[in-house]
Amino acid sequence: MINTKDITFSYGKETAFAFPDIQCRDGEAILITGGSGKGKTTLLHLLGGLLRPQSGAIQVNNTDIGALSEKKLDHFRGENIGLVLQQSHFIESFSVLENVALASWLATGKQRIEKAKSLLKHLDLEKQMHKLPSQLSIGQQQRVSIARALINEPKVLLADEPTSSLDDENAFKVADLLGNLSKEFQSALVIVTHDSRLKQRFTNQISLS
């Protein structure tokens, strides 16, 4: 679950954002849209604890993440927040399976290999799990990113422009996949995007202006 109240953020004096309040319960999805420079990625990074707000409060799974120390926030993020970022940031010398399992090791100290295999099979990537990320299509890499984000069964799943580089068919597949996985894993899903195609898939929407 995500709850925000009166959050603001600024990059120096020139660029300041005041964001609308957000409520997203377990298994629900919110689509956050807006043009370039409206703060979509900034908002996502605030929700994920990658940035701290200048004012206001962000609660994730009933925890005020702004009150956590950096060390506790890192630990909390690893256990509770799954991130699907625009850049995948794979370790290119690791296989797909190793990249997904690494996310569990970083969060818990244990490599959940069988869980990683199960997720990759679930996302129709069974035949790709021993390949290098560079050997995959963009759509397949996006699904690997989703598997990596889900490995620790997060309470919150945050996706930044997950379909921007995909054609219509794959964009709708990824959108449906994220929505279905959110319900299946009972994760609150927040997608930030300028991709108008996704408006057809999510009824709960917030537009940043």
pLDDT in tens, 138-187: 889 988 998 999 898 899 999 999 888 888 888 888 888 899 889 988 99
Contacts 24+ apart (CB under 8 A), 167-175: 168/197, 170/138, 170/139, 170/142, 171/195, 171/197, 171/198, 172/197, 172/201, 173/139, 174/139, 174/142, 174/143, 174/146, 175/201, 175/202
Domain of residue 99, residue span: 2-207
pLDDT tens digits for 37-89? Answer: 899 999 999 999 999 999 999 999 899 999 999 999 998 998 899 999 877 78
Find all residues with CB under 8 Å of 1, minimum gap 6, and list them: 24, 25, 26, 59, 60, 61, 62, 155, 156, 188
Which backbone phi and psi does 153 adopt, to 5 degrees? 50, 60
Specify the 3-state DSSP secondary structure of 136: coil
Q: Which tens digit of pLDDT belongs to each residue from 86-101?
A: 777 899 999 999 999 9
CATH number for 88: 3.40.50.300
What is the tally of structural domains in the chain?
A: 1
pTM to 2 decimal places: 0.89
